[in-house]
Chains A and B, each alone.
Chain A
Amino acid sequence: MVILEEQQKHSDDDLVRACREGVESAFEELVRRYKDRVYNVVYRYLGNHEDSVDVALEVFVRAHRSLDRFKGDAQVYTWLYSIAANAARNKLRDRSRKGRNKGVSFEALQERAPSLAQSITTDAVNPSHLAQKRELNDGLKACLEDLPDSYRLPFVLRTFDNLSYADIAATVDCPPGTIKSRLNQARKRLRDCLTKRGVL
């Protein structure tokens, strides 16, 4: 417990430094700090829990392997997100190559990962409310999946992780002005899509 408390006081850079020195508990702490954020972003990007688990695991495996190459000139989370973005994009391509463009259905998810399904529906106890929420989720997810990659990633990072334009720009390596423009386009397209689906 003392060790954990000590680690909680450490900054991300301290943890990375400790990881490089072979302190495995430092890496474990890093994982604990960011696994949910990374998973959430990846899931929103891919729309599929099965693939998201694979990608999220891959993110941390790659991060662990390339700790010595992390220069510290970016935030740890933008570094993790850039790995995640690349891995997620690869997964998308892999998925489309194999013709598997459909995400896991909600029913299948309930069967395989009830806790995950629950996290989507949160505290919706009322069945009709649950159904309504599910439709909203499906519609939102579908419209998000229809977005081109260059719009989807900035939108996901902003909307689901509240990254600043500067951090998003660092993650995808383009100017903040471009991020602003892409977010605008993303929201325009989402608005049109959601309106068409009757969600808005």
Chain B
Amino acid sequence: MAPACEQIRSEFSALLDDELNSEDRELVEEHLAECAECLRELHGFKQVADAYRYHHPVKAPDDFEERLRDAMAPAPARFGQQWPAARLAAAAAIVVGIGLAYWRMSGPEPGAFQTTMRAEEPARESTADAIEPAAEADTELTQESMAQGAPPEMGESEALAGRESDTAKAKPVPGDQIAGESAAEEMAESVAKRPPEFQGGGAGFGGGGGGFGGRRSETRQRDGEMTGRGADGFGGAATNESEAAPPATVPAPPAPEPPSASEPAPQAKPPAPAPASEPAPHQLRESAAMKDDTSTTGDADTPATPSRRAELKREQPGAPADGKELEKTMPEAVSEEAVVTWREQRFSVVEGTLEQAGYDGEPLTEITLLSDAWHDILDRYPDLVDLVDGTQPVIVQLDKTWYRFKPTA
């Protein structure tokens, strides 16, 4: 075939689809007027185009919209986003139920609850009506912090830090006055009665509901203070760190200070600097991501059983009923961000990107979905489609290389 013919034939699709500019069209038509072979070739292209063009379009089934409504109907995240009060109420019910069960199993000791709670989670006490002096003080302080316009969680953490020593000295309330009061109190009591590794953290339901999905930069700053347990919802504070065995893939981060949770639960804990012993709400919110800050950076491509996206683990929010009250008493409210597991690596959403734990700003290889590079990667990692669904960018490490897969639109 003459080079001219090859070049002309490369324009046939564009010619048929009316995508040629006038100059190129003229060139092609001039050639076709003199080249029977090319004309025959074009005819073949036209036959294909016609054969498929007259294939009538297929419509969606009549019940498509109804099926779509059904498919979209159960949406836990949307539920929480649209009706936060209802979500919080549901979360509170769960928290209370589990806390109650735990409390009943462990049994409170008069006084012990009081002292422990004062030292560790004074914010929680602010909703316990029986714990009036300290509670009111805490409430006032927290409200004050909030009124000052600081973000509630930040204001509270600072308030909590400041108040910790104060509340430790607060007048104790008899245990029997505490027991049997509000459900929140019972839950708070259960916190005191938790094993040491579960002290000091968690947004509720007996130590659960640690926050997750926070800012990575903040997370990194708190590396030494954070624990590897946050993602389970059991305590985002360094207090847990030395006690709980971290998951197999997550080495425990070094703590800057001795964790206060090493002390037995009933004893009063000495005032400690806030970052170490008083998990700020935003810290706990990040606890799930934090947990994986020190996760191994290799091994995304170990030949493990691929996990489906259905393994999306949604941490149960642990927060009592009332919205405003929540901010005061349950500063460790759980964020809506979910944690995804893929090939035993955990991912969380960071600023709109689904990011593998352990990513620390290393250079990325950017790949756009549906590109040739994407297909090559998929050939090597077919289960990547379980992780990358095209709705958000994904940062993942494969074979020691960090990739960022981005949607096409």
Interface residues of A (CB under 8 A from B): 22, 28, 31-32, 35-36, 38-40, 43-44, 49, 53, 56-57, 60-62, 64-66, 69-70, 74, 78-79, 82-83, 85-87, 89-90, 93-94, 97, 113, 115-116, 119-120, 122, 136-137, 140, 144, 149-150, 153, 158-160, 164-165, 170-174, 180-181, 183-184, 187-188, 190-191, 194-195, 199-200
Contacts and interface: CB of A to CB of B under 8 A. Distances in A.
A149 B371 CA distance: 11
15 contacts: A35-B64, A44-B58, A61-B72, A79-B409, A82-B369, A93-B378, A119-B59, A160-B55, A171-B408, A180-B13, A180-B19, A183-B13, A194-B48, A195-B44, A200-B47
Interface in B54-91: 55-62, 64-65, 67-68, 71-72, 82
Which of B14, B352, B392 gathers the greatest number of chain A CB atoms within 10 Å?
Answer: B14
B267 interface: no
B385 interface: yes
Contacts of A160: 52, 55, 57
A46 to B, nearest CB: 11
Interface string B230-243: 00000000000000
B247 to A, nearest CB: 29
A141 B161 CA distance: 69
B44 A36 contact: no
Given A140-B51, A171-B408, A60 B68 contact: yes
Interface residues of B, number: 48
A191 B65 contact: no
Interface string B203-239: 0000000000000000000000000000000000000
A172 to B, nearest CB: 5
A62 B389 contact: yes
Contact of B390 (A35, A87, A97, A122): A87
B14 A153 contact: no
B375 interface: yes
Interface string B26-46: 000000000000000000110
Contacts of A93: 378, 382, 385
Contact of B409 (A57, A70, A150, A195): A70
B390 A62 contact: yes
A180 B45 CA distance: 13
B206 to A, nearest CB: 32
A66 B371 contact: no
A86 B48 contact: no
Interface of B: 9-14, 17, 19, 44-45, 47-49, 51-53, 55-62, 64-65, 67-68, 71-72, 82, 352, 368-372, 375, 378, 382, 385, 389-392, 407-409
Nearest to B369: A86
Contacts of B389: 62, 86-87, 90
Contact of B391 (A40, A65, A97): A65
B59 A40 contact: yes
A22 B391 CA distance: 19
Contact of B52 (A85, A140, A149, A173): A140
A136 B51 contact: yes
Given A44-B58, A62-B391, 6 more contacts: A57-B67, A62-B390, A86-B370, A136-B51, A170-B409, A173-B369
B65 A28 contact: yes
A31 B409 contact: no
Given A40-B59, A183-B17, A191-B44, A61 B390 contact: no
A100 B10 CA distance: 35
Contacts of B385: 89-90, 93-94
B71 A57 contact: yes
A85 B409 contact: no
Most central of B10, B52, B389 by chain A CB within 10 Å: B52
B382 A66 contact: no
Contacts of B17: 158, 165, 183
B48 to A, nearest CB: 5
Contacts of A62: 389-391
Contacts of A191: 44-45, 47-48
Given A57-B71, A173-B369, A137 B55 contact: yes
Contact of B408 (A61, A158, A173, A199): A173
Contacts of A119: 56-59
A30 B47 CA distance: 35
A144 B67 CA distance: 28
B393 to A, nearest CB: 9
A180 B51 CA distance: 19
Contacts of B48: 187, 190-191, 194, 200
A35 B60 contact: yes
Contacts of A183: 13-14, 17
A191 to B, nearest CB: 5
Given A93-B385, A97-B382, A115-B62, A53 B10 contact: no
Nearest to B65: A31
A56 B71 CA distance: 11
Sorted nearest first, the 4 A-B pairs with minimum C-beta distance are: A86-B390, A39-B60, A66-B391, A183-B13
Given A61-B68, A97-B382, A200-B44, A173 B370 contact: yes
A173 B368 contact: yes
Given A60-B68, A64-B72, A187 B60 contact: no
Contacts of B44: 191, 195, 200
Nearest to B16: A187
Contacts of A187: 12-13, 45, 48-49
Contacts of B378: 93
